Structure 1
Amino acid sequence: MAIYKVRPQAESYGHEIGILLIDCRTPFIPGDVGNASSYGYPVLYRTVPDVTLDRLIEQGDLSLTEKVIETARALEASGVRAIASDCGYMMHFQEQVAAAVSIPVMLSSLQQLPFMASLLGPRQAIGIICANRRRLTDALLEKAHPNGHIALHVAGLENCPNFRAPVLDETDTLDSDAIEAEVVKTAEALCEEHPQIGAILLECSNLPPYAHAVQATTGRPVFDFLTMIDHVRAACRRRIYVGGY
């Protein structure tokens, strides 16, 4: 029988991935990063105080860094094997949080850009669908994909009313079919304008529920928060292979 020790700051055990939540009130449907049923393994959520959509996305408020670090350290103390977040714009804090804890940190789906680029030929491009195009600045993309050698083409959903209302304006009702139609239309238009796009990245943590529809419509590989989290989790919890030969 194995020997186990108490973790002083743990309230429960067995969580594989810790997820930092921004302080918002959006319905988290199945497939969303904020919905625990999206995973085939236990996850642990912690809301970062005062990290609101307005302060994070609209203002890019870096004074929030210490609160993000403090919450990440609490997740680490609870025993999670890696830390993610539920907003691609948390890329603002990636470097600082990674330096403050001793486990893998993946705060933004944008961190997949270098890997995606490595899969594509030099004449191909990556299409990015994000929550707010104006706030997905070149500086933020550079943090995720420094010295990128492949073209990035970005489309935002901030002017799509069915997406904007529940996600950016935090109304209390979400119509997933209507949002799916907006996301698919945006992806179609992006690929028609830039046919060299070889893969698509969904930046926003609310978008994985629509990844299948985007893939079916565009025929491109689609990456999102869940492809990143599942990938890192698999590396942190390797399976034992047994059976006959």
Structure 2
Amino acid sequence: MPRYIVRRQAESYGHDIGILLLDCRTPFIPGDVGNARTYGFPVLYRTMPGVTLDRLINQADRSMEQVIVENARTLEQSGVCAITSDCGYMMHFQEVVAASVQIPVMLSSLLQLPFVSAMLGPDQAVGLICANRQRLTEDLLAPLRASMRCNLHITGLEHAPNFRGPILDETDVLDSDAIEGEVVAAALDLKREHPEIEAWLLECSNLPPYAHAVQAATGKPVFDFVTMINSVQAAARRQPFNGYY
């Protein structure tokens, strides 16, 4: 039998991915980063007190840095193989958190932009659907744009009432069918404006439940938080190959 050594900071064992949660009260439906049934492997959640969406999208507010780093280190000490978050705007803290732990860090689905772009031709484009277009600032995207080989077209859902209520304003009720309609409409509108879009990226961690609908409506690949998390988990927890050549 193998020998095991206790982790003093761990309350439980066997988690693959650690997920940093904003301090919010949004319904997390299946497919959402915040719903544990989204994954085919164990995940460990940790809410960061005081790290709210309003403070996060204020890029000048660096006072949350210590809280975010401390919670990331706690997840690392609990034995996870990689750390993510539940907000694309956590990209603001990607570098500092990655430098503070010894395991992979992927705080934002936006990290996939250079990869998705590399798969496309120079005359093609990536369509990005985000929670709030005004808050997806150019300084947040600049490091990623430098590695992109094609165009990026962006639309936001801040004016979509069924999305905005539960996700941005934290109201109590989430109508997933109504939100799906808004997300698909946003994708189709952007595609009509930019027919060269050949792949999609969903910034917000609440959007993966609607990725299938976006693909069905546009016929294009859709990347999101879940595609990123699943990919890193598969790389970090490799299994023996039992297939056939």
- TM-score, normalised by the number of residues in structure 1: 0.97
Whether the aligned pair in 2 keeps the contact of 1:91 and 1:144 (CA below 8 Å) is: no
Query: Do residues 125 (structure 1) and 125 (structure 2) align?
Result: yes
Q: Which residue is 2:30 aligned to? A: 30
Superposition pairs for residues 16-55 of structure 1, below 5 Å? Answer: 16-55=16-55
Q: Give the AA of the match of 1:49.
A: P
Rounded Cα–Cα distance in structure 2 between residues aligned with 1:223 and 1:243: 27
Superposition pairs for residues 188-203 of structure 1, below 5 Å? Answer: 188-203=188-203
Name the SS for the 2:129 alignment partner.
strand
Query: Aligned-pair distance for 1:60?
Result: 5.0
Q: Give the AA of the match of 2:233.
A: R
**Structure 1 residues 169 and 243: CA distance shift in structure 2, 3 A:** closer
Query: Aligned-pair distance for 1:134?
Result: 0.4
Rounded Cα–Cα distance in structure 2 between residues aligned with 1:147 and 1:232: 20
Rounded Cα–Cα distance in structure 1 between residues aligned with 2:121 and 2:74: 41
Name the SS for the 2:99 alignment partner.
helix
Query: Aligned-pair distance for 1:147?
Result: 4.2
Rounded Cα–Cα distance in structure 2 between residues aligned with 1:44 and 1:173: 25
**Structure 1 residues 83 and 35: CA distance shift in structure 2, 3 A:** same
Q: Which residue is 1:164 aligned to? A: 164
Alpha-carbon displacement from aligned partner over 1:13-42 (angstroms, at most 9, x marks no partner): 000000000001000000000000000000
User: How large is the RMSD of aligned CA atoms in angstroms?
Assistant: 1.2
Q: Which residue is 1:76 aligned to? A: 76
Name the SS for the 1:100 alignment partner.
coil
Name the SS for the 2:8 alignment partner.
coil
Whether the aligned pair in 1 keeps the contact of 2:114 and 2:147 (CA below 8 Å) is: no
**Structure 1 residues 10 and 138: CA distance shift in structure 2, 3 A:** same
Rounded Cα–Cα distance in structure 1 between residues aligned with 2:203 and 2:120: 19
Alpha-carbon displacement from aligned partner over 1:72-129 (angstroms, at most 9, x marks no partner): 0000000000000000000000000000000000000000001001100010010000
Q: Which residue is 1:207 aligned to? A: 207
Q: Give the AA of the match of 2:180.
A: E
Query: Do residues 11 (structure 1) and 11 (structure 2) align?
Result: yes
Query: Aligned-pair distance for 1:50?
Result: 0.9
Query: Do residues 63 (structure 1) and 63 (structure 2) align?
Result: yes
Whether the aligned pair in 2 keeps the contact of 1:157 and 1:163 (CA below 8 Å) is: yes
- Runs of 4+ displaced beyond 4 Å: none
Q: Give the AA of the match of 2:45.
A: Y
Whether the aligned pair in 2 keeps the contact of 1:129 and 1:187 (CA below 8 Å) is: yes
Rounded Cα–Cα distance in structure 2 between residues aligned with 1:13 and 1:44: 9
**Count of residues in correspondence between the two structures:** 245
Whether the aligned pair in 1 keeps the contact of 2:118 and 2:149 (CA below 8 Å) is: no
Q: Which residue is 2:98 aligned to? A: 98
Rounded Cα–Cα distance in structure 2 between residues aligned with 1:237 and 1:144: 27
Alpha-carbon displacement from aligned partner over 1:142-189 (angstroms, at most 9, x marks no partner): 133434331110000000000000000000100000000000000000
Rounded Cα–Cα distance in structure 2 between residues aligned with 1:60 and 1:152: 25
Name the SS for the 1:153 alignment partner.
strand
Q: Give the AA of the match of 2:66.
A: E
- TM-score, normalised by the number of residues in structure 2: 0.97
Rounded Cα–Cα distance in structure 2 between residues aligned with 1:62 and 1:39: 31
Rounded Cα–Cα distance in structure 1 between residues aligned with 2:197 and 2:244: 43
Whether the aligned pair in 2 keeps the contact of 1:15 and 1:44 (CA below 8 Å) is: yes
Q: Which residue is 2:232 aligned to? A: 232
Rounded Cα–Cα distance in structure 1 between residues aligned with 2:211 and 2:98: 28
Rounded Cα–Cα distance in structure 2 between residues aligned with 1:66 and 1:232: 25
Q: Which residue is 1:110 aligned to? A: 110
Q: Which residue is 1:173 aligned to? A: 173
Q: Give the AA of the match of 2:136.
A: L
Structure 1: 5+ residue runs without aligned partners? none
Q: How high is the sequence identity, in percent, across the aligned residues?
A: 68
Rounded Cα–Cα distance in structure 2 between residues aligned with 1:87 and 1:243: 36
Q: Give the AA of the match of 2:175.
A: D
